[in-house]
Amino acid sequence: MKKWTLFCSTLLGISLVTSASASAAAGADTTPASSIQSFGTDWLTKTDGSFWIWDYNQSVPTQIPELTGTTGSYPGGLVVMGDQTIKQWSNDYYTPAITVKPVSGLSSIQDVLDWNGTLIADAAGAVYTKVRADDSQPQNEVTYTPVTGIDNVADIEIYAEEYSDSMRYRHLFLKKDGTVWRDNGELQEFEPIQNLHDIVQIAENYALQKNGTVWTWPATFAEKNPPASALAASKFTALTSIQTLKHEQKSTLAIDKQSRLWFWGGTVTGYADGWTYADHPDPVLITSIQNVKDAFVVEHSLIVQTLDNKVYSTSVARDAMPANPNFVLLASDISTIKNGGRHMIMQKKDGSLWGWGVNKNSELGYGDYEFMHDTPVPVQKPIAVSLNGENVPLTAGVITRNGQNFVPLRSLFDKLGAEIGFDGTSKLAAVTRTDPSLPALKISVSAKNGQTTLNGQAVTLANKPFTVNGTLYLPLRFISEKLGAKVEWLPKEERITIMLK
């Protein structure tokens, strides 16, 4: 519920490549410790304060210079800056542009529900809703307004009530005093759910009490507006001694104090747009995996992280979940997992990030648009580029292939004393030097096959140019030498420096 989907872009960009060669010194001297301070399913921050995102037109981590110095990042592109101001970033599938706008009406963020209109609880427990803007007018900021009638909120969730002929979504509010409240679906007429107190987690129409007891309340009715007595919570006697409770997709998961996993709710059968979901209300104790640390449902897979930091998967695409499903090992040495609805990003103990799952919009930050990666792939490193000592903002981030760093350079080309053209019919890019005091220079590159010419003569390159989602990548070292620039790769800083006299 806290993720949106856009289409892939077909725009053309131009990028360059530089060598990632390092000295022959020992690995400890050339391989930096992890520079990643925090991360999510489509963003990361580095220890130097820089902020990076990927998805849609940014197939790998791409820096947003305006967000350097963030202290917190939340769903919906919300970030808190070091001066406590709040901003919101967004990118779209039409252009590579990344938009950053200031946020008004908020002074802090504690929890975010990004579903059908963003809801935010601030540090004091007040709730705010995003003001829907008039799309016909340009908006210079994002505005939030208080929701009246609810306060002291620690967590916001949502659940569905089903009737014979319709469905209604209700917002859930876990208050700091351990009570749970719900609205009428329209952020009005708030009421406490009877019998709930000392609650520490909420998930769909289930709640976890501090003593490990699980409570539930009805979510299916024959008619609308059932009496209040029919909405009261009761103990879910099938489970005791639970320490973690969560609802993922259409399934509910619980981990007990013996580190055992319980599963109930939805499984899926069918194909593509014809999926059929079946609801299994009775919890199943999963016996084929033990020592469970965390669990998620990603796309149609049950993902389990064990206490020894291994990650396993099994399918949810079945008539019902058996007690002993076969699990497949996906990864080892995983310290942290952040999951979306259809993909997840994992961090290993060495600090590297790895992606798994649906990748149709480049959600994995790997640098391609293959629909699915069923084995983990590395998220590209967040590598910065500077020209004459100044950081260069790029429309898409660095891609590393075959030991070389491929760097997008559209926004840098004019600063290198060249201009670029592209013939859409022949799919031929041309880099032309504009300084009349220097010898004429024209480099042509075919977006079809990577063939390259210099002043009309064919040249052989160590790594051919390539395209990713309509972006053409060109070899930086070759072009920079012709333009008189010096390129250096600084692995400890994860930075490429370009010096042009």
Its domain, for residue 340, covers: 248-380
Residue 44: what are its φ and ψ, rounded to 5°? -155, 160
For residue 175, pLDDT over 50 is answered with yes
Cα angle value 75/81/85 (rounded, 5°): 95
Task: Name the residue type at position 487.
Answer: V
Count of beta carbons in the 10 Å neighbourhood of residue 304: 25
> What's the rounded Cα separation, in Å, for the pair 20 and 401?
9
Band (501; pLDDT cuts 50, 70, 90): confident
Q: Mean of the pLDDT values across residues 400-422? A: 80
Cβ pair 367, 357 in contact under 8 A: no
Domain with residue 404: its CATH number is: 3.30.457.10
Cα angle value 477/482/483 (rounded, 5°): 95
Domain boundary among 353, 380, 407: 380
- Whose CA is closest to 288, among 254, 317, 313, 257? 313
Q: Across the beta sheet with 43-46, what order do the strands follow?
A: 36-39, 43-46, 51-55, 58-63
Q: Using one digit for the tens of pLDDT, what is the confidence trace for 243-273? A: 999 999 899 999 999 999 999 999 999 876 7
Q: Mean of the pLDDT values across residues 479-483? A: 81
Q: Same domain for 438 and 359?
A: no
> What's the rounded Cα separation, in Å, for the pair 472 and 337?
32
Q: How large a percentage of the chain has pLDDT more than 70?
A: 92
In a domain, 78, yes or no: no
Cβ pair 477, 411 in contact under 8 A: no
Band (178; pLDDT cuts 50, 70, 90): very high
In a domain, 357, yes or no: yes
Q: Same domain for 369 and 391?
A: no
493 alpha carbon, distance to own chain's centre: 24
Q: Using one digit for the tens of pLDDT, what is the confidence trace for 30-80? A: 345 589 999 999 999 999 999 999 999 999 999 999 999 999 999 999 999
101 alpha carbon, distance to own chain's centre: 19
Split into its structural domains, the chain has a count of 2
Q: Same domain for 466 and 480?
A: yes
pLDDT value, residue 13? 46
Q: Same domain for 330 and 394?
A: no
Long-range contacts of 160-163 (CB under 8 A, 24+ apart): 160/219, 161/219, 161/220, 161/221, 162/219, 162/220, 162/221, 163/220, 163/221, 163/222, 163/223, 163/224
Domain boundary among 380, 409, 426: 380
In a domain, 236, yes or no: no
Q: Same domain for 319 and 368?
A: yes
Helix (H) or strand (E) holding 98: strand 98-104
Q: Mean of the pLDDT values across residues 330-335? A: 98
Q: Same domain for 360 and 259?
A: yes
Task: Name the residue type at position 213.
Answer: T
Residue 482: what are its φ and ψ, rounded to 5°? -70, -30
Q: Same domain for 421 and 372?
A: no
Q: Same domain for 273 and 313?
A: yes
Domain with residue 278: its CATH number is: 2.130.10.30
Q: Which is more confident, 196 or 462?
A: 196
Cα distances from 312 to residues 162, 271, 282, 352, 447, in angstroms, run 33, 24, 23, 19, 40
Q: Same domain for 393 and 343?
A: no
pLDDT value, residue 409? 64
Q: Mean of the pLDDT values across residues 365-387? A: 95
Please state whether the predicted TM-score (pTM) of the whole model is above 0.85.
yes
Token reading at 56: 């849609």
Q: Same domain for 406 and 492?
A: yes
For residue 471, pLDDT over 90 is answered with no
Neighbouring C-alpha atoms within 13 Å toward the C-beta of 129: 14
Residue tagged 């202290």 (tokens): 71
In a domain, 301, yes or no: yes
For residue 286, pLDDT over 80 is answered with yes
Task: Name the residue type at position 447.
Answer: A
In a domain, 459, yes or no: yes
Cβ pair 57, 96 in contact under 8 A: yes
Q: Are strands 311-315 and 118-121 parallel, antiparallel or unpaired?
A: unpaired
Token reading at 339: 């999951």
Q: Same domain for 336 and 324?
A: yes
Residue 381: DSSP 8-state? P
pLDDT value, residue 81? 97
Q: Are strands 495-500 and 384-387 parallel, antiparallel or unpaired?
A: parallel
- Quote the mean pLDDT of the chain: 88
In a domain, 396, yes or no: yes
In a domain, 263, yes or no: yes
Q: Same domain for 374 and 432?
A: no
Domain boundary among 340, 356, 380: 380
> What's the rounded Cα separation, in Å, for the pair 217 and 204?
10
Q: How large a percentage of the chain has pLDDT more than 90?
A: 65
In a domain, 349, yes or no: yes
For residue 403, pLDDT over 90 is answered with no
Residue 220: DSSP 8-state? B
pLDDT value, residue 481? 79
Task: Name the residue type at position 417.
Answer: G
